[in-house]
Amino acid sequence: MGLDIEPTSVGRAGTDLQSLGAEAKAKVGGLFASSDAAANGHAGWQSSAQLSACSQAWKAQLEQMIDYLTNIGLNLTSSAVQITAEDIEAADRIDDALQGLAGR
């Protein structure tokens, strides 16, 4: 069973995922600004601590998902580089074999 992969497209997808991950990571903190403001503005209330804990838990979950997707991007980029190198090596070996046969 063969697998046909276009390394340039795979590498581009990996780079795009990494870029999106970086952008998302930069925006995550801002998503919870209103929750943080509400929790800080009512520091003596019991709901304040719960709101803060909930906000932190959601932020951690989002950051974990972003890290997971960014890692997928890194792996795709790495795979594309490896496949390209292996294709080049295979082509070089075929060329060497053909040159060896032609020289006989």
pTM for the predicted model, two decimal places: 0.76
pLDDT of residue 1: 62
Residue 93 within a domain: yes
pLDDT of residue 73: 97
pLDDT of residue 44: 84
Residue 41 within a domain: yes
Mean pLDDT by 10 residues, the chain (104 residues): 85 96 93 88 86 93 96 96 93 90 76
Residue 87 within a domain: yes
Residue 86, judged by CB atoms within 10 A of its CB (0-12, 13-18, 19+), counts as exposed
What is the tally of structural domains in the chain? 1
Residue 47 within a domain: yes
